[in-house]
Structures are given as C-alpha cells and as structure tokens.
Amino acid sequence: MHSFINKLSRLFAVLGGIVLTILIVMVCLSILGRSLNSMLNGELMQSMMPAVANALLATGVGPINGDFELVEAGMAFAIFAFLPLCHINGAHASVDIFTSKLPLKVNRFLRMVIEIVFAAILIIIAYQLFLGMLSKQNSGQTTLLLQFPVWWAYALSVVGAVVAALVALYTAIMRILEFSTGKEMLPDEMGADH
C-alpha cells in the first residue's frame, strides 16, 4: 500500500510541476508580449518605424488573453498536487522547540494527533471544494475573459484535494499504528525546523 501511495504522490507532484512550469512560461510570454506591445505602440517606434511597428502589432503581439484566469486555476491545482508528496514524506515545516525534549512516545502521540487533524481538515476541504464545484456547475458561471466554466478549475482542485486527503488519511492510519506498535512506519518529519 505504501508503494502505491508513494507513487500516486509522486505522480501528482510531477503533474503539479508540469502545470506550474506551463504557468511560468505563459506568464513570462505574457509579460514579454505586454512589453513588446507597449514598445511598439510607443512614440519612438511609431515615429521611427511605424510600418514595422504596425505590422508586428497586427500579428497580435501583446499579453496572453486571460493569463490571470489560467494562473488562478492552475495554481490551485498545483498547490493540492504538491501536498501529497510533502505529506507522505513528513516534509511539512515544524517548530519543535518544546517537543524535541519530550520522550519518543509523547512525540509519536503528538504526531498521531496532528496527522488525524490534518486528515480531517483535508477531507473537509475536499468535500467543500466538491460542493463549490457543484454550485459553480449549476450556476453556469464563466470566467470574464476566456469564458471557460469556473467549475473546471474547481474540478481540477477537487482531484488534487481528494488525493491529498487520501494520502493524509493513509498517513494518519500509519501514525496510529506507529503509536500503537511503537514501530517506525513512515519517515519522521524532515521539514524545515524553526
């Protein structure tokens, strides 16, 4: 089971990375297009080479239409896509000023409680996103510029949130078993200690 959960987490991290890379390239191209458009519409280019400037402007040089809408939708998915891998590896940031001095059994208990709460919260988030998606789907709401249905972005986020919730649930179960048996089953926190 651990192998499957780990592979699923890695798959979603790769998908999140691909989406994030596409968004970064798109934003860079949009900024470049916006800058070129401003330069070509500028006084200098219009006075020195108006034919060239207008010919380039006629090709559609400018910002990517709806780039903010795409970033908004893509970032929501990317965040949920990275959560499972972070969670399965215990890579969340932790502040353990007091707990580092506590006995191992107490730390295992605290980890177990935190994982149970984390799983419950992610399940609630996934459920609420699902309800939000249904609401957006029923309302027929679309984005302003691209006019794509808003529920599409919710659907992508729901998929990521469900996977994150499943991984968190698995992790909570493993932490319960660790606490019960005293055996290490998952990586200890390897997050940034502050």
DSSP state letters, 60-116? T-SPPTTHHHHHHHHHHHHHHHHHHHHHHTT-S-B--TTGGGS-HHHHHHHHHHHHH
Burial of 159: CB neighbours in 10 Å, binned 0-12, 13-18, 19+: middle
Is 98 a domain residue? yes
69 has pLDDT over 80: yes
Is 49 a domain residue? yes
CA distances from residue 107 to 27, 77, 93, 94, 115 in whole angstroms, order as listed: 44, 32, 16, 13, 12
Q: How many folded domains does the chain comprise?
A: 1
Give the integer Cα–Cα distance in Å for 166 and 185.
17
Confidence label for 185 from pLDDT (cuts 50, 70 and 90): confident
Instruction: Give the DSSP H or E segment for 190.
Output: none
pLDDT digits (tens, 9 = 90+) for 107-141: 899 999 999 999 999 999 999 999 999 999 999 99
Is 117 a domain residue? yes
Instruction: Kindly report whether the global pTM for this prediction surpasses the value 0.75.
Output: yes
Contacts 24+ apart (CB under 8 A), 60-68: 61/33, 61/36, 61/37, 62/33, 62/34, 62/36, 62/37, 63/30, 63/31, 63/33, 63/34, 63/37, 64/26, 64/29, 64/30, 64/33, 65/145, 65/146, 66/143, 66/145, 66/146, 67/26, 67/27, 67/30
CA distances from residue 69 to 79, 134, 153 in whole angstroms, order as listed: 16, 19, 10
Is 121 a domain residue? yes
User: Which residue is listed with tokens 């353990």?
Assistant: 96
Is 189 a domain residue? no
Is 70 a domain residue? yes
Least confident of 53-57, 86-90, 147-151: 86-90
How much of the chain, in percent, has pLDDT values that exceed 70?
96
194 has pLDDT over 70: no
Residue-number span of the structural domain to which 140 is assigned: 2-181
CB 53 within 8 A of CB 40: yes
Is 122 a domain residue? yes
The CA dihedral of 151, 153, 154, 157, to the nearest 10 degrees, is: 160
One-letter identity of residue 183: K
pLDDT digits (tens, 9 = 90+) for 157-169: 999 999 999 999 9
User: Which residue is listed with tokens 């249904």?
Assistant: 134
Is 141 a domain residue? yes
How much of the chain, in percent, has pLDDT values that exceed 90?
82
